Structure 1
């Protein structure tokens, strides 16, 4: 039996593309879609994968990353499925890719106007921690009633002295919709604003698609006396490359027990290490 290009049938891809266009037209708004069955389990990237399969063309160059790595099990399996059903070229270089699918990270290299970044999202509803009802959260979004999201952040300040959300930190998109940016670290939140590329977010299990179009205003929720702050890595250095000021993983050397840091975006680290004289 002949396999359809990009696995999904053409009617499915058409429906997903139509919902994607609606999401782009209303930045930050969660658009319901008929999530399809795929040969991977729901919760492991089916929403992002359906976006990628509906958009990819034969001339595209694909990059798939999982928490900064091109070689994790999740990234390898998703890339293999896409390549087996499309035959498109792949790359580890962010600049060379036209379509990037990512789990939990926005690449260190800024997106270009010709690029689309697809983020996998497990929980797309930013109001879910304060409201379990889908019907009520829809009404709250319609009324622009986000006091629950603000109250949740305020309670963290009262209890711990600061906002403790380190990932999936809520943002206000285009001054209208509060959005869950997927479990990217706070370090990546500023990359959402005024980006040259198109950012799409897909949640297969929750059957939602939403988007941040290019050059859109995106502001992380914060208070005047407790402004939004990202994780700082200016005072630590990547042990492998000598880089600083990028998002890093804190690791422990199993031999010495020493704590050290390594650049999370592995392809960016390799590119910088290959630039003569740029790192130690």
Structure 2
């Protein structure tokens, strides 16, 4: 007799273990919870941590959205959507508002998330202290003692050398006034979106075997000095060349035909929604 395929690929025991780790992560915001990372039909480093969270949480009534660096149509995003849809039969969408479960690599959608949504972020390196401390046993002790002087010193050295902090992405944040956390390689522009977000944010690192979380309405503060406040990428005076959006994260391109630098929405579905409301046809975004 042929065995029935597992719903959402993972067996029920694996899902329960990952859910238990997720619940612990929600109970202790910013704390990295170890879990037994499973083998997935994709290479580690391509989102296996996020995919395991998605497969453990997804239900038959969910609607899935997957984005990779702002794009719904990238190879990574399309592959993950195909796997989840093939093993669950749930619908997928490109509209942020329609999704109940969103898996993302390197971006938080431009549309504000709601209490009925879960955002899963793929994480390559969950330990924010790893840049200056290689031993896991030491980083665990530093977190336990709230000893984050190394993280502050790293930012101070950047300011002394360059006049500003140079963390283009994955800028460390303080969660609920307790744990310093790596927000995943989202741009600095997206860090404030985590602060008091209505949605539950789960972060999964498959290769490093860690899960951590930002529960809804949790205080998130990007590490910064009083005389050098935190600043995200500045797109003042710039707008998307397609939909005209301002106040969003923009990609910069040099257009050879015109010899000019132009900008476009990094969040392609947000751009498409604006164009649809404006009665314009869909455009093909260039990628970087």
Which TM-score band (shorter chain)?
A: over 0.9
- TM (norm. structure 1) is 0.97
Counterpart Cα distance in 2 of 1:80 and 1:94: 18
Counterpart Cα distance in 2 of 1:257 and 1:47: 42
Counterpart Cα distance in 2 of 1:277 and 1:187: 29
Number of the residue aligned with 2:171: 169
| 1:13 and 2:15 matched | yes
Counterpart Cα distance in 2 of 1:212 and 1:42: 23
Number of the residue aligned with 1:73: 75
Of 113, 116, 137, the match for 2:115: 113
Offset at residue 237 of structure 1 (A) = 1.5
Please give the secondary structure, in 2, of the residue aligned with 1:89.
coil
Counterpart Cα distance in 2 of 1:257 and 1:133: 49
Aligned ranges for residues 96-135 of structure 1 at < 5 Å? 96-135=98-137
| 1:149 and 2:146 matched | no
Question: What are the Cα deviations for residues 191-212 of structure 1, in whole angstroms up to 9, with x where unaligned?
Answer: 0011110000000000000000
Of 264, 267, 270, the match for 2:269: 267
Number of the residue aligned with 1:225: 227
Question: What are the Cα deviations for residues 68-109 of structure 1, in whole angstroms up to 9, with x where unaligned?
Answer: 000000000010000011000010000100000000000000
Counterpart Cα distance in 1 of 2:203 and 2:89: 24
Please give the secondary structure, in 2, of the residue aligned with 1:35.
coil
| 1:192 and 2:216 matched | no
Of 195, 204, 207, the match for 2:206: 204
Please tell me the root mean square deviation across aligned C-alpha atoms, in Å.
1.1
Question: What are the Cα deviations for residues 1-43 of structure 1, in whole angstroms up to 9, with x where unaligned?
Answer: 4320000000000000000000000000000000000010000
Counterpart Cα distance in 1 of 2:148 and 2:278: 50
Offset at residue 254 of structure 1 (A) = 4.1
Offset at residue 233 of structure 1 (A) = 1.1
Counterpart Cα distance in 1 of 2:106 and 2:32: 19
- TM (norm. structure 2) is 0.95
Offset at residue 234 of structure 1 (A) = 2.1
Of 34, 37, 56, the match for 2:36: 34
Counterpart Cα distance in 1 of 2:239 and 2:254: 14
Please give the secondary structure, in 1, of the residue aligned with 2:262.
strand
Counterpart Cα distance in 1 of 2:260 and 2:79: 33
| 1:249 and 2:251 matched | yes
Number of the residue aligned with 2:140: 138
Please give the secondary structure, in 1, of the residue aligned with 2:161.
helix
Number of the residue aligned with 1:3: 5
After superposing on structure 2, the runs of 4+ consecutive aligned residues of structure 1 that deviate more than 6 Å are none
Counterpart Cα distance in 2 of 1:137 and 1:72: 35
